[in-house]
């Protein structure tokens, strides 16, 4: 069903037949093998090597051991970028999933026009990562933007949200929540799999709607919630475009939108500190791998697989 | 939108005992029929619709506002938040089109080349790899398959620095090659996975029959699997289109010459080249940049929904 379950499946798979279509497989897989080697594996190892060097593209890499890493841990901007990203991820992803689940449940309740609502709510997910929408956001939450126009209508005087260090990150979180349509569609498919008789039985026994939600919907939907959570967390960690556009590449005001990937980009391709950027990249890999691992581990305690 | 009556073949609730089918299929089937006809009082139902429509309007309001602003003269954009422009003014479009170093169709064309190359690349290379994983027996298949799945999770930021070094040593910077060649080498493993899922669902008897008739793998792949896999190919093409069209990060890194700018990179330069008071042309070109995505949204719904449910992609 999902990537995650596929991984779990292959882990247990035993060796397959030895003989077979080796030659044909080599031909069909040739592009993928080359890509895996040259575009993925080699850069992955190269960036590990570079993370132990001082490298600015102009001269050969100079081995400096763990210096990039020690510098990184002592770098206040790096710490800040990590804090900004974590804040963004752990606030906006749960909100986004809550909105997705809430709307999915409303739409699942025998409503006409489901396809229409689904399309309307899904559209932002398609557009959300584009430069055009980030530019729009910059304007909507600007000093004389749409939000303040609406607030002025009610007699409230707003501030320049995207240029205010306390609020700039919040506007990006709203942007992420705005794209709840994709997880909503997955939730809708998941809700479909819960047999209605469970709810009927529960309501005959006198269980309230709230109780039904916590005792039927949540447990039976937990694999889907987990699937969405892993994907959205990993995706949110890599947010770049929105922060770049809204802050015009600086991560400002006063680093309040300095996302991890943005700082990495600025170090690597702004200042050409390729070694430092590589160290950051490997730390990012550890975070993403760690998050996935934690999620898998934690899922044992709360994800309920019915089969 | 589709107020069709419940289809006669729609399964009743009693039949709908825990379906063991891929989520993607279920998701694609959802439209049309509400699954429960247990509706509350009429007033409550109407209230629900009003709330849902209201919520949808709030969500889409920024988009509609951008659309309507793109037709308004600059002085008015910030004065009235209303949606209906008093007059249809196209100056923003003509100004925006020529506001940058090159006319906007130059960037549209560049984006189109990158997108076309990426779509073709993904279609060819990912379907080939998927055929091998779904149908061929070879040594180490589970291991390679697991590796392929892991690369889906790998953030591009982790490998971008060495990639840049590699491509710049090939003198590929400021060409479209760094954006297209990786697709020809099946690095978007998402789509391999998507097609493996699809191929596995096709009846094996078909290729066995073809084998008995003397077909090799090449012909089975070309003549049987691909023609039967149009839905999966369409999903791949559509998502590759959207991702590549929206992609900013790698295009920002590999294209630094204005001559080679694609639409997202060109839009970005609007921030530098226009003052805060000329948002009209910027909005106009933003709208232009969203039009292709919007068309795909209108006509590719079914495949979009399928794609999301298979891999959770946006």
- Give the separation between CA A295 and CA A225, rounded to whole angstroms: 11
Closest by CA to B124, choosing from A174, A28, A210, is: A28
What is the phi/psi pair of residue A238, to 5°?
-100, 10
In order of their start, the domains of chain B are 39-97 (no CATH), 104-273 (1.10.3720.10)
A132-148 pLDDT per residue, tens: 999 888 888 877 778 87
Residues of chain B with C-beta less than 8 angstroms from the C-beta of A107: 52
Confidence of residue A186 (pLDDT cuts 50, 70, 90): confident
Domain boundaries, chain A: 67-302
Cα separation values, B171 from B121, B167, B178, B253, B254, Å: 21, 6, 10, 14, 11
CA-to-CA distance for B247 and B265, rounded, in angstroms?
9
Nearest Cα of chain A lies from the Cα of B26 at a distance, in angstroms, of: 6
* C-beta neighbour count of A34 within 10 angstroms: 16
Q: Which of chain A's residues have a Cβ under 8 Å away from the Cβ of B295?
A: none
Chain position carrying tokens 């289809």: B7
Contacts A288 to B, Cβ<8 Å = 153, 155
Residue pair A114/A107 in contact by the 8 Å Cβ criterion? yes
> Whole-angstrom Cα distance, residue B184 to residue A32?
8
Higher pLDDT, B3 or B236: B236
pLDDT at B67 over 80: yes
The per-residue pLDDT of chain B, averaged, comes to 80
pLDDT at B94: 84
Nearest to A4 by CA among A127, A218, A186, A193: A186
| Contact criterion met (CB < 8 Å) for B32 and A115 | yes
- Going by C-alpha positions, the residue among B158, B84, B310 that lies closest to residue A39 is B158
- Say if residue A131's pLDDT is above 60: yes
Q: How many CB pairs under 8 A join A and B?
A: 347
What is the pLDDT at residue B39?
Answer: 52
More confident call, A256 vs B106: B106
Contact B155 A144 (CB under 8 A): no
Q: Which among A135, A146, A178 has the least Cβ separation from residue B59?
A: A178
Task: State both tokens at A84.
Answer: 């900004």
Q: Do A24 and B216 make contact, defined as CB atoms within 8 angstroms?
A: yes
CA distance B54 to chain A (A): 11
Q: Is the pLDDT of residue B234 over 80?
A: yes
Six-digit token string for A47:
């960036």
Alpha-carbon gap, residue B48 to B287, rounded angstroms = 32
Average pLDDT over residues A204-218: 84
- Distance separating alpha carbons of residues B45 and A213, to the nearest angstrom: 21
Instruction: Supply φ then ψ for residue A59, to 5 degrees.
Output: -110, 170
Cα nearest neighbour of B79 on chain A: A149
Residue A116: pLDDT band (50, 70, 90) is confident
- Tell me the nearest-neighbour CA distance from B95 into chain A, angstroms: 17
pLDDT greater than 80 at residue B23: no
pTM of the model: 0.83
Encode pLDDT of A271-289 as tens digits. 888 889 999 999 999 888 8
- In tens, the pLDDT along A146-156 reads 887 778 778 77
The predicted pLDDT at position B229 comes to 86
Q: What average pLDDT does this structure show over A40-61?
A: 87
Residue A192 at interface with chain B, using a CB cutoff of 8 Å: yes
Q: Which residues pair with A53 in a beta bridge?
A: A63
Does A244 contact B147 at a Cβ distance shorter than 8 Å?
no
Segment B274-308, tens digit of pLDDT: 555 577 888 888 999 999 998 888 888 777 777 66
* Matching residue, tokens 């898998």: A296
Q: B29 pLDDT band (50/70/90 cuts)? A: low
Dist. CA B221–CA A112, nearest whole Å: 42
Q: If contacts are CB pairs under 8 Å, which of residues 158-177 in chain A contact chain B?
A: none
Q: What is the mean pLDDT of residues A49-62?
A: 84
Q: Which residue has the tokens 């308004």?
A: B72
Q: Do B142 and A16 touch (CB under 8 A)?
A: yes
Binning pLDDT at 50, 70 and 90, where does residue B312 land? low
Say how far apart CA B189 and CA B252 lie, in whole Å. 22
Residue of B nearest to A266 (CA): B253
- Kindly tell me if the per-residue pLDDT of A15 is higher than 50: no
Quote the CA–CA distance of A230 and B312 in Å, as a whole number. 10
Q: What whole-number percentage of chain B has pLDDT above 70?
A: 79
Given a cut of 70, is residue A212 above it in pLDDT?
Answer: yes
Q: Say which of A29, A113, A285 has its CB closest to residue B155.
A: A285
Contacts of B302 in chain A (CB under 8 A): none
In angstroms, how far is the first alpha carbon of chain A from the final one? Answer: 13
CB–CB of A149 and B2 under 8 A?
no
Residue A211 confidence class, pLDDT cut points 50, 70, 90: confident
Q: What CATH number labels A67-302? A: 1.10.3720.10
Structure tokens at B225: 């699997």
Mutation for A interface: B78, B154, B250, B314, most A CBs within 10 A: B314
Residue A235 predicted with pLDDT over 90: no
The reply to whether residue A32 touches residue B148, judged by beta carbons under 8 angstroms, is yes
Q: DSSP labels for A132-146? A: HHHHHHHHHTSTTSH
CB A100 within 8 A of CB A307: no
ipTM: 0.81
Task: Check: CB of residue A279 under 8 Å from CB of residue A72.
Answer: yes
E strands present in A70-216: none
Report whether pLDDT(A238) > 60: yes
Interface test with chain A among B158, B164, B168, B279, by most A beta carbons within 10 Å: B158
The confidence score (pLDDT) of residue A279 equals 92
B206 pLDDT tier (thresholds 50, 70, 90)? confident
Taking phi over 0 as left and psi of -120 to 50 as alpha, with beta for the rest, A209 belongs to alpha
Q: Which long-range CB contacts under 8 A does A43-48 form with residues at least 24 apart?
A: A43/B159, A43/B160, A43/B161, A43/B162, A43/B163, A43/B166, A44/B154, A44/B158, A44/B159, A44/B162, A46/B162, A46/B165, A47/A278, A47/A281, A47/A282, A47/B158, A47/B159, A47/B161, A47/B162, A48/A278, A48/A282
Kindly report which listed range (A45-59, A166-180, A288-302, B223-237) carries the lowest average pLDDT score: A288-302
pLDDT for B4 beyond 80? no
- Cβ–Cβ < 8 Å for B69, B77: yes
Q: Which residues of chain B make contact with A36, given a CB cutoff of 8 A?
A: 147-148, 151, 187
pLDDT at A29 over 80: yes
- Residue B78 has a pLDDT of 66
pLDDT band, residue B2 (cuts 50/70/90): very low
Question: Which are the contacts of B180, defined by CB distance < 8 A and separation ≥ 6?
Answer: B114, B117, B118, B121
Per-position b or e across A218-247, b if 16+ CB within 10 A of its CB? eebbbbbbbbbbbbbbbbbbbbbbbbbbbb
Nearest to A150 among B81, B263, B282 (CB): B81
The two three-digit tokens of residue B151, written as one number = 């690369």
More confident residue, A81 or B84: A81
- Neighbour tally for A23: CB within 10 Å: 11
Pick the residue from chain A with its C-alpha nearest to B163. A43
Minimal Cα distance from B192: which residue of A? A32
């Amino acid at each position: 069903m999902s990537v995650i379950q596929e991984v779990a499946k292959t882990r247990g798979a035993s060796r397959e037949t030895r003989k077979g279509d080796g030659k044909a497989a080599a031909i069909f897989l040739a592009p993928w093998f080359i890509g895996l080697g040259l575009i993925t594996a080699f850069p992955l190892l190269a960036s590990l090597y570079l993370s132990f060097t001082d490298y600015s593209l102009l001269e050969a890499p100079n081995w400096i051991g763990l210096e990039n890493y020690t510098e990184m841990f002592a770098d206040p901007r790096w710490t800040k970028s990590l804090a900004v990203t974590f804040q963004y991820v752990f606030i906006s992803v749960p909100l986004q999933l809550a909105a997705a689940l809430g709307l999915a449940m409303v739409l699942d309740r025998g409503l006409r026009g489901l396809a229409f609502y689904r399309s309307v709510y899904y559209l932002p997910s398609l557009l959300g990562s584009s430069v055009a929408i980030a530019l729009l956001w910059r304007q909507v939450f600007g000093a004389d933007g749409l939000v303040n126009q609406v607030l002025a209508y009610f007699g409230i005087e707003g501030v320049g949200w995207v240029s205010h260090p306390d609020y700039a990150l919040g506007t990006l979180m709203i942007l992420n929540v705005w794209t709840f349509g994709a997880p909503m569609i997955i939730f809708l498919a998941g809700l479909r799999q819960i047999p209605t008789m469970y709810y009927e039985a529960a309501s005959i026994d006198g269980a309230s709607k709230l109780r039904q939600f916590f005792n039927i919907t949540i447990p039976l939907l937990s694999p889907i919630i987990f699937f969405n959570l892993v994907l959205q967390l990993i995706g949110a960690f890599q947010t770049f475009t929105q922060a770049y556009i809204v802050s015009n590449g600086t991560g400002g005001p006063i680093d309040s939108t300095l996302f991890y990937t943005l700082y990495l980009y600025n170090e690597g391709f702004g200042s050409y500190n390729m070694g430092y950027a590589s160290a950051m990249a490997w730390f990012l890999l550890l975070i993403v791998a760690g998050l996935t691992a934690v999620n898998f581990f934690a899922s044992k305690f709360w994800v309920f697989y019915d089969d | 939108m589709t107020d069709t009556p419940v289809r006669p073949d729609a399964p009743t609730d009693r039949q709908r005992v825990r379906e063991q089918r891929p989520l993607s299929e279920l998701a694609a089937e959802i439209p049309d029929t509400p699954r429960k006809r247990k509706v509350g009082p009429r007033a409550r139902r109407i209230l629900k619709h009003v709330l849902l429509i209201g919520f949808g309007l709030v969500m889409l309001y920024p988009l509609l506002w951008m659309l309507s602003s793109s037709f308004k003269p600059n002085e008015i954009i910030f004065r009235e938040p209303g949606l209906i422009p008093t007059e249809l003014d196209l100056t923003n479009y003509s100004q925006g089109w020529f506001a940058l170093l090159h006319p906007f169709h130059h960037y549209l064309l560049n984006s189109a080349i990158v997108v076309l190359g990426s779509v073709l690349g993904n279609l060819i290379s990912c379907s080939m790899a998927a055929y091998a994983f779904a149908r061929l027996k070879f040594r180490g298949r589970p291991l390679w398959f697991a590796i392929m799945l892991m690369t889906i999770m790998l953030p591009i930021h982790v490998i971008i620095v060495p990639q840049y070094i590699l491509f710049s040593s090939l003198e590929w910077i400021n060409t479209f090659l760094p954006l297209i060649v990786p697709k020809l080498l099946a690095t978007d493993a998402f789509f391999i996975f998507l097609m493996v899922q699809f191929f596995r669902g096709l009846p094996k008897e078909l290729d066995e029959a073809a084998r008995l008739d003397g077909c090799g793998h090449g012909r089975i792949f070309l003549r049987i699997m691909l023609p039967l896999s149009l839905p999966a190919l369409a999903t791949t093409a559509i998502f590759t289109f959207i991702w590549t069209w929206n992609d900013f990060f790698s295009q920002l890194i590999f294209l630094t010459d204005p001559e080679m700018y694609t639409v997202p990179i060109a839009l970005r330069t609007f921030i530098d080249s226009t003052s805060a008071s000329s948002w009209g042309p910027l909005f106009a070109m933003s709208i232009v940049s969203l039009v292709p995505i919007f068309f795909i949204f209108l006509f590719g719904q079914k495949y979009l929904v399928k794609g999301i449910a298979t891999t959770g992609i946006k």
